[in-house]
Amino acid sequence: MNKNKPTVTIGIPAYNEEANIGYLLADLLKQKQTGFKLDKILVYSDGSTDNTVSIIQSFRNPLIEVIDNPERLGVAAGLNAICKAVRSDVLVILGADMGVDDHELICKLILPIIRGKADLTSGWLQAIPPKTWFEKIIFHGRIYQNQVFYEYQKGNNLHTCFGAVRALSGRLYQHLRFPTSVGEDMYSYLFCIRNGYNYQSVKSAVVSYKLPDNFVDHKQQSVRYFRSKDRMAKEFGESFVNQEMKIPFFAYLTGGFWAVTHFPIYAVAYVAITLTTKIMALFDLQAATNDKWERALSTTVLKS
């Protein structure tokens, strides 16, 4: 790592993100470079057919670069292209549909890496206030999940590693290549742990995102997540994946009791939706093999 200030590249894989990419880049240019030097913000356009690339180029800022790939290959190809193109001490990966209001997000996210405490970190996803009834159900379901996942091992577990807000040390991302877009965030965590690197959750590094506002979009995301376990088992072995995914039943039980006592209607509705999508995932074999970029359209617009 640089003996002076460690260098950072922000990598953003994007596919048809004209609705948010301009807002995201503007927010990132406001980041306080406390304790680090920003090398560049590198956006990989995965065969975008909208105005994503032209919006990026309109910034005319030397810190912003774009890889305009003409063919849609999937998020794994985008992440691999970013990893190959970067030489910084730390690589920060953000989702193109995220919102960044905290001007110290990058500082917080990379701090454990700079201090030598971790090679992979992940921040916190904060959903913007829900509007529809369906969004409110999923919103409260996320509250329940966070109650469980951030209590277990102080949040340092597979379930808090989010693809939309990660930081990777140089020694990790230089050896990391994503074989599939299915569960790529899960893959980064499992690769980290299996190869003796350290992971740390950084709850203070918060980005905002929009929840799906309909069942179809939510099902698309959920089925893909449930099927990703099968894909990871092929890469790392079923025993190791089960070990890293396991959360004590008591944690689910106490979290569920807390949810039922605080928002009973939403809790019951969320359980019903989750069971439905789990059953649907059993019959959706394509979700475990489709490597193209799957987008939930209702989650792409944060600001209107």
Tens of pLDDT, residues 180-232: 998 999 999 999 999 999 999 999 999 999 999 999 988 888 888 888 898 99
**Model confidence band, residue 56 (pLDDT cutoffs 50, 70, 90):** very high
Residue 198 to residue 206: CA distance in whole angstroms: 21
Distances (CA, A) of 7 to 3, 39, 51, 86, 150: 10, 6, 30, 11, 29
110 with 121: CB under 8 angstroms? yes
299 pLDDT higher than 70: no
7-298 CATH, one of 3.40.50.720, 3.40.225.10, 3.90.550.10, 3.60.15.10: 3.90.550.10
Q: How much is the mean pLDDT over the chain?
A: 92
Q: What is the pLDDT of residue 106?
A: 98
CB 200 within 8 A of CB 123: no
Q: Is the pLDDT of residue 296 over 80?
A: no
Comparing CA positions, the residue from 51, 34, 52 lying closest to residue 43 is 52
Per residue, the 3-state secondary structure of the chain, as one string, reads CCCCCCEEEEEEEECCCCCCHHHHHHHHCCCCCCCCEEEEEEEEEECCCCCHHHHHHCCCCCCEEEEEECCCCCHHHHHHHHHHHCCCCEEEEECCCCECCCCCHHHHHHHHHHCCCCCEEEEEEEECCCCCHHHHHHHHHHHHHHHHHCCHHHHCCHHHCCCCEEEEEHHHHCCCCCCCCCCHHHHHHHHHHHCCCCEEEEEEEEEEECCCCCHHHHHHHHHHHHHHHHHHHHHHCHHHHHHHHCCCHHHHHHHHHHHHHHCHHHHHHHHHHHHHHHHHHHHCHHHHCCCCCCCCHHHCCCCC
pLDDT for position 286: 60
Confidence of residue 88 (pLDDT cuts 50, 70, 90): very high
Q: Does 292 have pLDDT greater than 70? A: no
Residue 300: what pLDDT?
A: 61
pLDDT score of 290 more than 90: no
What's the CA gap between 254 and 197, in Å, rounded? 31
- For 91, half-sphere exposure in the C-beta direction (CA atoms, 13 angstrom radius) is 27
**So what's the pLDDT on residue 282?**
81
- Say how far apart CA 50 and CA 68 lie, in whole Å: 12
pLDDT at site 182: 87
pTM, full prediction: 0.92
Residue 3, judged by CB atoms within 10 A of its CB (0-12, 13-18, 19+), counts as exposed
Q: What tokens does 244 get?
A: 């890293």
Residues of the chain with pLDDT > 90, as a percent, come to 82
pLDDT at 27 over 90: yes
Q: What is the pLDDT of residue 232?
A: 95
Non-local CB neighbours of 180 within 8 Å, separated by 6+ positions: 76, 187, 231, 235, 291
Give tens-digit pLDDT for 140-182: 999 999 999 998 999 999 999 999 999 999 999 999 999 999 8
What the block records as the tokens of 85 is 């193109």
* Pairwise CA distance, residues 152 & 134, whole Å: 28
User: 298 falls in which pLDDT band (50, 70, 90)?
Assistant: low
- pLDDT beyond 70 at 260: yes
| Sequence letter at residue 78 | G
**Which pLDDT does position 269 carry in this prediction?**
96
